[in-house]
Structure 1
Amino acid sequence: MAEDEYETLPTHSIPVHLAAGALAGAVEHCVMFPFDSVKTRMQSLCPCPETKCPTPVHSLMSIVKREGWMRPLRGMNAVAVGSMPAHALYFTVYDKMKEFLTGNTVGHGNSLSYAASGVFATLIHDAVMNPAEVVKQRMQMAFSPYGSSLECVRCIYRREGLGAFYRSYTTQLAMNVPFQAVHFTCYEFWQQILNPEHKYDPKSHLIAGGLAGGLAAALTTPMDCVKTVLNTQQTAETVEGSAAGGRRILVAAAYQYRGVSDAIRTIYTQRGVGGFVCGLQARVIFQMPATALAWSVYELFKFVLSFEGGHSA
């Protein structure tokens, strides 16, 4: 099939968008997951050795050396389960809203429509994804007391109630709304530069996705720091944690914040202005390839599934 047939393919099928989006979500969150673990530890106010490492790579090696090769992957199953339905809806809603707002036209004049579509998609995505983010970040913490993601879910619900899974929801939205507005606008901008005919072009999807994800991640790191602090707070009690070599230690977990403003004040008090850019390098290192791969996978499977759907029809 020639690449110039891509524009005439039945790419507006909702099942195609859902399937391609689910696969893209799993790839985006899982491929670079170890650096996401590094970012979480650097942003959390809980003490851990990784905050003193000079680079994200050093932090990752520190985790592996002290806690084993599999430790940076803890919580990945939770985010994989959450990201598939979340991203299936996310990409589908974005494409349908973009199609509606732009009249299915392309060009730089549609930047506001791209941003609005991204914001609307984010509202739905975060409602599904926020609980998985909470579980993931609790599992990523140094000396996390949870043996599995399911155990983490049960413990959070029993000790803190259902509200704990959405404690950071407003912060997540405050971060992701500008993130996705920048992300989608930047992606469509680079698509217009690199791929003005909007054909299926793997190289342009990869480059545009990486540039868009990296810029959006850098600009929204301060709110990501606040979200991490809210997600990783614990009930005021003593819990057990596992250290390297099977030793059991006790960690005092009395991190409770009354809301976003309290978390912001605490970050500033403990770390100063620099506390709001903790994990920036790790976040960009995670987000650039993750977003590039997500767009590449999404466009690839949208292309393949649409092609197969056209034949089966």
Structure 2
Amino acid sequence: MAAPVEETDYDYESLPPNFSLAANMLAGAFAGIAEHSVMYPVDLLKTRMQIINPSPTALYSGLSNAMVTITRVEGFRTLWKGLSSVVLGAGPAHAVYFATYEAVKHAAGGNRGGKEEHHPFAAALSGASATIASDALMNPFDVVKQRMQLQGSVYKTIGQCARDVFRREGFTAFYVSYPTTLCMTVPFTATQFVAYESLSKAINPTGKYDPYTHCTAGALAGGVAAGITTPLDVIKTLLQTRGTAADPELRNARGLWEAASIIRRRDGYRGFFRGLKPRIITTMPSTAICWSAYEMAKAFFIARNEA
């Protein structure tokens, strides 16, 4: 009779001491590219719905109507326009994101006490630190992405778009939205990480690798965080696309408060929630994919380390 195979009981939540930075960053890059690529068409719709004073042909009555209209008028490939900018930026940005997350979480004591312990402060701090680092890298790519997503965009490649933005508006155009982005993504990420860690502990108290847990907790955490931070996302879109606006007031918006004032004056408080539905629809599966992909890659590296 064959001897029973002994199950390796590693602490999944805590990375092994020799878990390399490169492996951690590779897991994060894999997660980032998977997250942004799958839901990209809905993200494009969200950007268009958040634009102030769009052209008459860019007024959509709903998500399905928008998909059909864009496909019929502009072609199916338009739904993926600008994706290369996301892929190029998301890999390195998410690599930095998760590497920072794990480092700060460990330094803040988030891995102390084993699977039974819950550290919401460490989760929030690590999430906020991760997004500050990754957004500094990702912001220019996000600007290029949104410029290419707009109706009537003449840009064929991300290089052409980046050069044109730099020539017309200077280097600051790539970072004019960075403070607003941080105002949005820091609370978004802190909320998401706390919710994710809390839901994961509640659904899966053992802390073992469980795809169902990571997918469910990631989706719910992302949906909550997306709904709360939508007003700041609308402001960010205005700032990142201001260079394409014909309206002088929109074109010269210089920061968060000025952009918020324009939105409030023109559309009222409802204007801050334009694109709420596609934002949540995009974020829930995106964060589910992101966390699932990251935890899968992390589990693979940890299991290989144990072997």
Return the TM-score normalized by structure 1: 0.89
In the alignment, which residue of structure 1 is the partner of 2:3? none
Cα offsets for 1:146-193 (capped at 9, x unmatched) = 121110000001111111100100000000011001000000011001
* Residues in 2 aligned to 1:253 and 1:73: alpha-carbon distance in whole angstroms: 27
> Which region of structure 1 is more displaced relative to structure 2, 104-113 or 6-15?
6-15
Is residue 109 of structure 2 the alignment partner of residue 102 of structure 1? yes
Is residue 183 of structure 2 the alignment partner of residue 180 of structure 1? no
Report the AA paired with residue 186 of structure 1: A
Q: Is the 8 A contact 2:35 2:286 kept in 1?
A: yes
Report the AA paired with residue 303 of structure 2: F
In the alignment, which residue of structure 2 is the partner of 1:308? 304
In the alignment, which residue of structure 2 is the partner of 1:41? 48
Deviation at 1:145, TM superposition (A): 2.0
SS in structure 2 of the partner of residue 302 of structure 1:
helix
**Residue of structure 1 aligned with 2:171, choices 162, 168, 179:** 162
**Residue of structure 1 aligned with 2:271, choices 260, 270, 275:** 275
**Residue of structure 1 aligned with 2:73, choices 54, 62, 66:** 66
Q: Is the 8 A contact 1:159 1:235 kept in 2?
A: no
In the alignment, which residue of structure 2 is the partner of 1:223? 232
Q: Is the 8 A contact 2:50 2:237 kept in 1?
A: yes
SS in structure 1 of the partner of residue 76 of structure 2:
coil
Is residue 49 of structure 2 the alignment partner of residue 31 of structure 1? no
Report the AA paired with residue 302 of structure 2: S
Q: Is the 8 A contact 2:110 2:122 kept in 1?
A: no
SS in structure 2 of the partner of residue 234 of structure 1:
helix
* Residues in 2 aligned to 1:272 and 1:20: alpha-carbon distance in whole angstroms: 42
Percent identical pairs in the alignment equals: 42
Cα offsets for 1:281-313 (capped at 9, x unmatched) = 0000100001000000001111112323444xx
Change in CA separation of 1:2 and 1:161 when aligned onto 2, cut-off 3 Å: farther
Q: Mind listing any 5+ residue stretches in structure 2 that lack a counterpart?
A: 1-5
* Residues in 2 aligned to 1:54 and 1:171: alpha-carbon distance in whole angstroms: 28
In the alignment, which residue of structure 1 is the partner of 2:295? 299
> Which region of structure 1 is more displaced relative to structure 2, 174-183 or 39-48?
39-48
Q: Is the 8 A contact 2:176 2:254 kept in 1?
A: no
> Which region of structure 1 is more displaced relative to structure 2, 132-141 or 101-110?
101-110
* Residues in 1 aligned to 2:45 and 2:244: alpha-carbon distance in whole angstroms: 23
In the alignment, which residue of structure 2 is the partner of 1:153? 162
Return the TM-score normalized by structure 2: 0.90
Report the AA paired with residue 143 of structure 1: G
Q: Is the 8 A contact 2:46 2:275 kept in 1?
A: yes
In the alignment, which residue of structure 2 is the partner of 1:79? 86
Report the AA paired with residue 306 of structure 1: I
Deviation at 1:107, TM superposition (A): 5.5
